């Protein structure tokens, strides 16, 4: 029997379709992430990812094995074709599991991982345009509204794992790490409970270690309730303490293959691949502080593809 998978954003659909019949749990998650890393039309992950303030594409990725709690991550790494492969490889070691910048690149080269110049003309042009619009580099803030691909998997035997990959916020400072490579923030997996992952403004996600908190709550709550609780509480906390909270969306999958998703945005798309159903695109909403889910309509799916062709969607 196949694995149950859930992934952030509609951009994961092609990868989820590619791995629908893959039985190896780690392979299904890693290959689904790689599919997005390799697609230059998606501007927030891997090849074609939107650059940092200096025009460089710096990537973050992480992998966690819920059986062993093994964890590996790379941060702010350039010229790596598939950062998720480096994260997975690092998770197999006992020490030095999280590497950033030059160290991460050296590790990848020593391990024979493929390199690539991830700067794509489409993303470079967006960077040029943004720089022209705001010439004062110091006053330019990293843009919100970015997307990380996060894939969670649960095997029929009750093992879970998580993989995430992102180019981080557009126009971020060089060397900036988001939530994605930070254990418990961008993702967490524990086969005793389940796996969770987050996308949105990393600086706000990491303040609540949201993935770890969802996995902790899933020990007693359904994935859906855990996701809604954590997004609602953390958003309220940041609004109360700081006056604002960036966009946050989360997904979760327990070891029985039940899943959940929640957002503090109007709409967040995600993809679910259940063994007998195949990949389906869903939408999570937050309206008037009420959370809801629906299957994406044909109309929504067509509009989405039009946005990607026009270079405005992800």
Residues near ligand ASP (CB under 6 A): 146-148, 166, 168-169, 178-180, 199-202
Q: Which is nearer to ligand ASP, 108 or 150 (CB)?
A: 150
Phi/psi of residue 111, nearest 5 degrees: -100, 10
Q: Which residues contact 280 (CB under 8 A, 6 or more apart)?
A: 271, 272, 273, 274, 295, 296
Q: What is the DSSP letter of 248?
A: E
* Residue 199 appears among annotated catalytic residues: no
Q: Count CA within 13 A, CB hemisphere, residue 310.
A: 8
Nearest distance from C-beta of residue 193 to ligand ASP, angstroms:
22
Q: Which is nearer to ligand ASP, 124 or 207 (CB)?
A: 207
Nearest distance from C-beta of residue 250 to ligand ASP, angstroms:
11
Write the DSSP assignment of 71-98 as a string of letters: EEEEEEE-SBS-HHHHHHHHHTSSS--E
Nearest distance from C-beta of residue 198 to ligand ASP, angstroms:
7
Name the nearest CA neighbour of 153 among 283, 27, 17: 27
Per DSSP bridges, beta strands 4-8 and 98-100 are unpaired
Q: How far is CA 156 from CA 63, 69, 224, 256, in A?
A: 20, 19, 20, 8
Q: How far is Cα 94 from Cα 115, in angstroms, rounded to an integer?
A: 25
Name the nearest CA neighbour of 148 among 107, 177, 126: 177
The answer to whether 216 and 227 are in contact (CB under 8 A) is no
Q: Which is nearer to ligand ASP, 2 or 152 (CB)?
A: 152
Q: Which is nearer to ligand ASP, 178 or 260 (CB)?
A: 178
The answer to whether 158 and 255 are in contact (CB under 8 A) is yes
Nearest distance from C-beta of residue 12 to ligand ASP, angstroms:
13
Write the DSSP assignment of 29-63 as a string of letters: HHHHHHHHHT-TTSTTSSTTPPP-TTS---EEEEE
Q: Which is nearer to ligand ASP, 143 or 300 (CB)?
A: 143
Name the nearest CA neighbour of 178 among 153, 157, 158, 199: 199
How many CB atoms neighbour CB 54 within 10 A?
12
Catalytic annotation, pick one of 4, 148, 166, 199: 148
Nearest distance from C-beta of residue 181 to ligand ASP, angstroms:
9
Q: Which is nearer to ligand ASP, 16 or 150 (CB)?
A: 150
Nearest distance from C-beta of residue 157 to ligand ASP, angstroms:
30
Q: Give the catalytic positions in this structure.
A: 148
């Amino acid at each position: 029997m196949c694995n149950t998978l859930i992934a952030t954003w509609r951009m994961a659909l092609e990868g989820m379709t590619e791995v629908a019949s893959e039985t190896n749990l780690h392979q299904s998650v890693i290959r689904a992430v790689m599919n997005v890393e390799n697609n230059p039309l998606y501007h927030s992950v891997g090849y074609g990812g939107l650059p940092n303030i200096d025009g460089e594409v710096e990537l973050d990725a992480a992998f966690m094995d819920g059986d062993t709690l093994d964890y590996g991550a790379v941060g702010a790494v350039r010229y790596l074709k598939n950062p998720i492969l480096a994260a997975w490889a690092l998770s197999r070691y006992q020490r030095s599991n999280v590497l950033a910048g030059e160290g991460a690149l050296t590790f990848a080269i020593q391990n024979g991982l493929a390199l690539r110049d991830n700067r794509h003309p489409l993303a470079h042009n967006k960077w040029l345009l943004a720089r022209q619009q705001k010439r004062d580099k110091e006053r330019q803030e990293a843009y919100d509204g970015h997307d990380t691909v996060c894939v969670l998997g649960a095997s029929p035997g009750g093992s879970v794992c998580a993989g995430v990959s992102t180019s981080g916020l557009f126009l971020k400072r060089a060397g900036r790490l988001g939530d994605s490579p930070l254990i418990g923030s961008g993702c967490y997996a524990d086969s005793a409970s389940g796996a969770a992952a987050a996308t949105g403004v990393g600086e706000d996600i990491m303040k609540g270690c949201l993935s770890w908190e969802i996995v902790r709550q899933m020990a007693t709550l359904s994935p859906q309730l855990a996701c809604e609780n954590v997004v609602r509480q953390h958003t309220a906390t940041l609004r109360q303490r700081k006056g604002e909270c960036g966009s946050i969306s989360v997904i979760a999958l327990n070891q029985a293959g039940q899943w959940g998703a929640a957002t503090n945005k109007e709409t967040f798309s995600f993809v679910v691949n259940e063994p007998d159903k195949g990949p389906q695109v869903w939408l999570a909403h937050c309206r008037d502080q009420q959370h809801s889910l629906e299957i994406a309509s044909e109309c929504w799916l067509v509009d989405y593809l039009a946005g990607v062709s026009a270079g405005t969607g992800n």
